Structure 1
């Protein structure tokens, strides 16, 4: 994942941050508010490391999965749908429902 995913969805990463760094405090994470340099300093202090080592540890953590709150975010979905347009045949709208999947109109029985 990229830092902009974290910055744009900062609160959604709290659980993942606390899972990785159990001593992290949500009130302090609120103050950081997605600022990458502040987060590096915070993790360096929390883990008693040099900032460069904390930065490397954060980079390793960033190689993980996006939290489900971020994946389910409508902004993320819209971006994913727009990015899928390269796989949609010319003349077809990637935002249209596709009736061939059979879920557009269900018959009442």
Structure 2
């Protein structure tokens, strides 16, 4: 999926991302307003995984 599509409907996708990575708070994701790089950083920080791994998982998702 194109990230621009995700960004256009960000509140819905933030909820799904929070379900996929339960360590990440939905409120934190909503504050990012769909900024992909910030989402990767947030997932990495919340889960303790490497940023590259978080980016790869997000890309696969």
Q: Give the TM-score taking structure 2 as reference length.
A: 0.87
TM-superposed deviation, 1:26: 1.9
Partner of 2:31: 31
Provide structure 1 residue ranges, at least 5 long, that are not aligned to the other structure: 62-109
Segments ≥4 residues shifted beyond 2 Å: none
Aligned mates of 1:15, 1:36 — CA distance in 2: 15
Provide structure 2 residue ranges, at least 5 long, that are not aligned to the other structure: none
Determine if the alignment matches structure 1 residue 6 to structure 2 residue 6.
Answer: yes
Please give the residue correspondences for 1:51-62 in structure 2 after superposition, counting only pairs within 5 Å: 51-61=51-61
Partner of 1:19: 19
TM-superposed deviation, 1:14: 2.5
* Higher RCO (C-alpha under 8 Å, 6+ residues apart): 2
TM-superposed deviation, 1:29: 1.1
Please tell me the root mean square deviation across aligned C-alpha atoms, in Å. Answer: 1.1
The answer to which structure has the higher helix fraction is: 2
Matched positions, count: 61
